[in-house]
Amino acid sequence: MRPEGPAEAAGAGRCCLGGHEVTLPGHPQLLRDAAGELRLEGHSLAELGRRFGTPLYVYSRAAMLDALAGYQRALAGLPHLICYAMKANSNLAVLQTFARAGCGFDIVSGGELERVLAAGGDPAKIVFSGVGKTAAEMRRALEAGVRCFNVESLGELERLSAVAVAAGRRAPVSLRVNPDVDAGTHPYISTGLKDNKFGIPHDEALAAYRRAAALPGLAVVGIDCHIGSQITQLEPYLDALGRLLDLVEAVEAAGIALHHVDVGGGLGITYTDETPPSPEALVRALAELMRARGHGQRELLVEPGRSLVGNAGVLLTEVQYLKPGETKNFCIVDAAMNDLVRPAMYEAWMAIEPCQLRAGAAPVWDVVGPVCESGDWLGRDRALALEPGDLLAVLSAGAYGMAMAGNYNSRPRAAELLLDGDAVHVVREREDSRALFALERLLA
């Protein structure tokens, strides 16, 4: 992820009227048909937007399962578990899709645990990550029977042991190690450097494992590492895994057995011109390194999130007004930073496509929302032929879109659809204004 620049943003990702179908790069289920209409899994996005209203998130189940299949093919024959990092998209139907496909889940809160259970996920396939687990969250996760706690500090080790002893249990733990590896991503989503808040420093990990093995409420089962998000190269993963395996060997030499190695997630997707490795290439490279180091039969856990759902979803929005200006032209739409915060938070570049192409001139617009903040924008310097009432699709919105949405300016959150072949499922109803203050109380 990187700040966008006008030169690369203007006209990027555009498809022209050419009388034939064109699949959009990086989006195997998204195509522009011969009439210039944008379709996801064969469904007209313009028609869906008119039928269900905007803003509207639309996801392709086939695209999610296609992305998952890449990991499954590469891991076939190896002891492994794929744990979907549900912070990317926590809709119950999305979780249900991955649970039915055999996935486990990487969670970071008690609320995420309850979502997995509500969606039919197997608690024995859940790994519980996160730097700030409360005692109540720990108790609930122990009660549910999660597979493992990914512990990130000595203080957490002590608390978890005390909670487990009080409950008459032993908590399975894996220590998340911070290997001080630069994944080359936006600083807000870098998690594997020594100045990040995540994990136990590599040079302190052996002592932490000795402490974990000595605590009465803990059972050491593995080692964990996660170095960031939107990673587009193999080298940071291999560097991190190499450091992790050094530690595995030191820990086991100290008499502490480790049953699994968890390499986290973070594989990037194509937003504009990125060329991340495929899931197959990533997993094969990791497996080859493990075999070369004599760890080929050790269970491998991976925690993909964005790479499973990012390019499986779009955000539909309607053009409200076109506001030409002396230095900037503004296209004002009905989606805003409360619906999709990535551009405002990270200056993230996300492709924006008309749901129906228009012939003629394509002025350069800043696509902005109605929220009362100058940071409320979805895309800058986009060459688009538009009229008020047209529908736009913000691409790559399946990850960290609705999951990060809020109600700023008292704006109800969008509805969500899941496409499954010919079927269109409403998997989240649109909020109404009264729902925003249903839990609030007036003074007497």
pLDDT digits (tens, 9 = 90+) for 81-138: 999 999 999 999 999 999 999 999 999 999 999 999 999 999 999 999 999 999 999 9
Q: Where along the chain do its domains lie?
A: 6-61+310-436, 130-302
CA distances from 216 to 17, 140, 171, 415 (A): 68, 19, 9, 47
The answer to whether the annotation marks 140 as part of a ligand binding site is no
User: Is residue 15's pLDDT more than 50?
Assistant: no
pLDDT score recorded for residue 188: 40
pLDDT score recorded for residue 28: 86
Catalytic positions, written as ranges: 372
Q: What is the mean pLDDT of residues 248-270?
A: 96
The answer to whether the annotation marks 228 as part of a ligand binding site is no
User: Is residue 19's pLDDT more than 70?
Assistant: no
CA distance 201 to 177: 6
**Which fold, 130-302?**
TIM Barrel (3.20.20)
User: Is residue 17's pLDDT more than 90?
Assistant: no
Class assignment of domain 6-61+310-436?
A: mainly beta
CA distance 194 to 187: 12
The answer to whether the annotation marks 373 as part of a ligand binding site is yes
Contact residues for 344 (Cβ-Cβ < 8 A; gap 6+): 337, 373, 375, 376, 377
Domains 6-61+310-436 and 130-302 share a fold: no
The answer to whether the annotation marks 303 as part of a ligand binding site is yes
Residue 218 DSSP symbol = E
The answer to whether the annotation marks 188 as part of a ligand binding site is no
CA distance 151 to 273: 36
Look up tokens 């990850």; give the residue: 399
* Encoded tokens for 289: 């390194």
